[in-house]
Amino acid sequence: MIEYNAERSHSSLGYMTPHEFVKEYVAMSQEQRLRLNMEKEMKIPYYQVDVFTDRLFKGNPAGVCLLMSGWPADELMQQIAFENNLSETAFVLRQGGSFELRWFTPTIEVDLCGHATVAPAHVLFKETGLDGNLIEFTTKSSGIVSVERKGDRLILDFPSRPPVTCETPRELEETLGNKPVEIWRSRDYLMVFDNEDEIRNMNPDLVRMLNWDCLGVIVTAPGKTVDFVSRFFAPRAGVNEDPVTGSSHSTLIPYWAKRLKKTELHAVQLSSRGGELFCQDAGDRVKIGGNSVTYSRGEINV
């Protein structure tokens, strides 16, 4: 256990790098953290992680804020996410031996996010040296979600969200530029097409899409070299196109598992950055696995 010393909180801790500070901070008791935060301006250790890839500048970048002693105001977290201007920023708070997690796009808080769950798990395992191979996060709207470390991959355990049939949204062909062969819905619309090229070449009208009553729109088709491909558009959430989307696979996995009659699935998201996902249908849960890499380490001063 680190012995807290008020005199060195402004000197020694102040000259630490953010990475060194996080490692020392994790070892402090809750009382020590509260005392430290009262004596210092709010400095939030911050990381940016590229998820569902093993290469920098690919996959989906997520911001990770490791909170020190309590939840900031929602308005402040939203401002931070807006300033970061990433598809999602994750805020993580350690409460005793457990972790709480919330996700913000630049404009709204969302109920579930895949890559911004892998990202904080990556930070806790790789950057802070957290022991073990399983992290459980308590979330505001989706219960407990977990991430398991298996070799170089991190495996999400998410609720399954099978799609159901639904009415056709207005101006469908004008919005997507093509007509899907199937239309489904869960949290998001799921539009199924015949082939990968239709997904790759799609250039939807995002202004028209703003009129659809959903968080996002998934477009998907059988893949040429993988089981299925997809893209995800969410202009109403402030994200025109998400590079790689874990939460959309809560719907894609049960759909494709039933259609292909298999539980192990290999998927690629065809955004400009691209991403690779290793999926499993597990009944009322889905497993979503992939790699991740740290892009940056720093701190936010607010």
DSSP, residue by residue, 64-76:
EEEESSSPPPHHH
Torsion of CA 147, 80, 47, 124, to 10 degrees: -30
Which residues are bridge partners to 251 per DSSP?
Answer: none
Given a contact cutoff of 8 angstroms between Cβ atoms, the answer to whether 250 and 219 are in contact is no
DSSP, residue by residue, 11-25:
TTGGGS-HHHHHHHH
Longest dimension (CA), the chain: 67
| Selection from 71, 91, 118, 129 nearest residue 245 by Cα | 118
> Within 10 Å of residue 107's Cβ, how many Cβ atoms?
13
Q: Which of 7, 39, 88, 196 is catalytic?
A: 88
> Within 10 Å of residue 226's Cβ, how many Cβ atoms?
14
Positive/negative CA dihedral, 111, 115, 116, 120: positive
**Is 182 an annotated catalytic residue?**
no
230 sits in the region (left: phi over 0; alpha: psi -120 to 50; else beta) called: beta
Q: b/e map of 261-293 (b: 16 or more CB within 10 Å)?
A: eeeebebbbbbebbbbbbbbbeeebbbbbbbbb
| Selection from 290, 213, 280 nearest residue 250 by Cα | 280
Q: Would you please indicate which residues are annotated as catalytic (active-site) residues?
A: 88
